[in-house]
Structure 1
Amino acid sequence: MFVQLNFTHAAFIFFERYTYGGPMQLSQLRSFIAIAREQNLTRAANNLNLSQSAISSQLKALEDELGVSLFRRSTRGMSLSDEGRILLEQAEEVLAACVNLQRSAQSLSRGATVSVTIGLNTDPTFLRVSAINQRLSLLHTNLNVVFHATETASTVQQLKNGLIDLGFFYGSLPDADIAEATIAHVRICVAIPNRLIESGEPLDWNVLAELPWVWVDDKFSPYQLLATKLGDMTKPPQRMVSASNEQIVRELVIAGQGVALMREDEARPLAEAGNVTLWTKGWSNMPLKLGWLREKKSLPHIRHAREAICHIWAAEGDVSEGDLTGKAWL
């Protein structure tokens, strides 16, 4: 049985150079990713159930091992350095691949022969990959699970080509061959880097359209939602830079290089850190869905994965005050 880990080339280099070349631990990568998301050491420590001193020590050890400073420290919090922005996406891919590696090894040791491939259209932490993997591991010990990076726009083709068995996506897939279930409704907002606007400046679409934007695709669900909301007021931004995924969008916004549509759970910490302003007229709700081929809906491995995903999202709906993850639910 072949086990495939879906590394990008950059992530493979990161994994090979640093994991094999030194004592770097996965717990250090988890701390790095948590701090990058929260931009606050206290919140990141709470999310990982660690003390501030423990997570700070893990970050220092990782920076020493890599030989770079991953963050800029200020009274407002912690923001990624240029080096940190480059390494963040690779670190996330390493963690996701290690989850696949551990799961595949467990399955092989039990003689597992059935695999299910789940497409992830956004970051694994937001999609609750760890909890999904844990539930499938407990309930279906003979099932080998593979997590594969995808995009909403390619979900239909990847399902039909057999590259994935199920896939997360935003919005709707207008294809009769695809069955879908709504997992959650995600809050989307317009995030404006503060360096692009004057403090207290009145903001309307005409003003925003003159600013540089970070754009994914006109068919990307958040942009379609914004266009529908604004109606006749909409005119295309004058200057745009294209980005292939949400992680790139987030990093360009942090760097102040353009306005963008972002999930609230990603944008809110940036606003609290004083990096961005959230446009009051730009809020909308976007469905997060799970899709699979209608003709395969009764296959046990697809049904088991679908039930596990729906259970995890339903079970984790209630979160403690201050946890921004739950604010993506509406």
Structure 2
Amino acid sequence: MEIYQLRTFVAVAQQGHLTQAAELLHLSQPAVTAQIKALEEELGSSLFERYPGGVQLTEAGKILLPEAENILASSRGMLQRARGLVGELKGKVRIGTIGVPSRLKLGPWLALLRSRHPLISVQTQHAISGVVLNEVRKKGLDGGFYLGRNPYQNVNNMVLSEIGFCIAMPPEWAAQAEDGEWRTLGQMPWLGVSQFNSLATITQELWREKNISPRKVGEFDEEATLVELIRAGLGMAILAERTARRFAADGSIALWRAGEVVTSAPLQFIYSADREEEPMLALLRDGLREVWAVDDSDGRG
């Protein structure tokens, strides 16, 4: 069964006459007759009854006509869709992710990209900020998320949001720190953070600002690990405000000064500076701009 046969079937049904259908389809009447006969043989049913003034649908023809019309409509839709894809950007993009996907609005962003650019395939690679930054610089990643200040001129950045941080500690330590003094915190054990994690830089800057030098307990590279170790009573650390408040709500951790935001850092999308004008990077930024409702006109650095 061919599309052209169904088109002829529908035309004859609508015109009620072989000659008129042939004129509409720019075919000869014998060609129309041959197509209808071939279709009837394949379907095993007679579609039309002939009479001197023309043709009319049989009961089988009446049942099958809507099916034929639906198939033709689907084929037209497919053709239009295919034509619409001509010139569409296509290819694979590699994106570095950090932390919690919901914090990055990863789902809404990728869903938007998929709806607008269906020929683009996205591959994500989860890591810590320093690794993402290095992979973007080496072009192992097309772009990625980064928490902290961008230190490189050859990496452009689009600031998405400012993330606030609170100091979290085991609940049993809260009484020791209730005087609210930084010098008291400086005498308590802190969880060290891997140098490739942006939290390491943020923590070190905070310590310098407050003139404290706490004893570090190990070095760890993920916020989820820090939460687990705080809950286990191993040490204290800064956590993103949203994370800190979520775990403090069930009493598994305590927040210093009732969850005061002690510092902040920008959450950014980063990419190689020499790819600024590439269409693929432009559409990634366009999607982020819409999902985050930000203006990155001054965000290059």
The SS at the match of 1:198 is coil
What residue is the counterpart of 2:242 in the other structure? Answer: 265
2:182 maps to 1:205? yes
What residue is the counterpart of 1:193 in the other structure? Answer: 170
Contact kept in structure 2, 1:120 and 1:148, CA below 8 Å = yes
2:286 aligned to which of 294, 303, 307: 307
The SS at the match of 1:125 is helix
The SS at the match of 1:268 is helix
Please tell me the residue identity of whatever aligns with 1:309: L
1:159 aligned to which of 125, 136, 152: 136
Once the two structures are superposed, what CA deviation does each residue of 1:156-193 show, in whole Å capped at 9, x if it has no partner?
32013222111110112221211111100011111111
Structure 1: give runs of 5+ residues left out of the alignment. Answer: 1-109, 316-330
Identity %: 21
The SS at the match of 1:248 is helix
Distance 1:129 1:291, change over 3 A: same
Paired residues, number: 206
Distance 1:127 1:231, change over 3 A: same
**C-alpha distance in 2 between matches for 1:239 and 1:171:** 21
Please tell me the residue identity of whatever aligns with 1:302: L
Contact kept in structure 1, 2:149 and 2:265, CA below 8 Å = no
Q: CA RMSD in A?
A: 2.6
Contact kept in structure 2, 1:226 and 1:284, CA below 8 Å = no
Please state how far the C-alpha of 1:206 moved relative to its aligned partner: 2.7
Please state how far the C-alpha of 1:127 moved relative to its aligned partner: 1.0
Contact kept in structure 2, 1:253 and 1:259, CA below 8 Å = yes
**C-alpha distance in 1 between matches for 2:273 and 2:255:** 39
**C-alpha distance in 1 between matches for 2:195 and 2:124:** 27
2:109 aligned to which of 132, 140, 151: 132
Equivalent residues in 2 for 1:1-330 (5 A)? 113-198=90-175, 201-217=178-194, 220-229=197-206, 231=208, 233-280=210-257, 283-314=262-293
Contact kept in structure 1, 2:192 and 2:218, CA below 8 Å = yes
Structure 2: give runs of 5+ residues left out of the alignment. Answer: 1-84, 295-301
Please state how far the C-alpha of 1:198 moved relative to its aligned partner: 2.5
- Of residues 217-226 and 116-125 in structure 1, the stretch that sits farther from structure 2 once superposed is 217-226
Please tell me the residue identity of whatever aligns with 2:232: A
Provide the TM-score with structure 2 as the length reference: 0.61
Please tell me the residue identity of whatever aligns with 1:154: V
Contact kept in structure 2, 1:179 and 1:293, CA below 8 Å = yes
Q: Which has the larger radius of gyration?
A: 2
Contact kept in structure 2, 1:116 and 1:305, CA below 8 Å = no
The SS at the match of 1:269 is helix
**C-alpha distance in 2 between matches for 1:262 and 1:200:** 17
- Of residues 177-186 and 158-167 in structure 1, the stretch that sits farther from structure 2 once superposed is 158-167
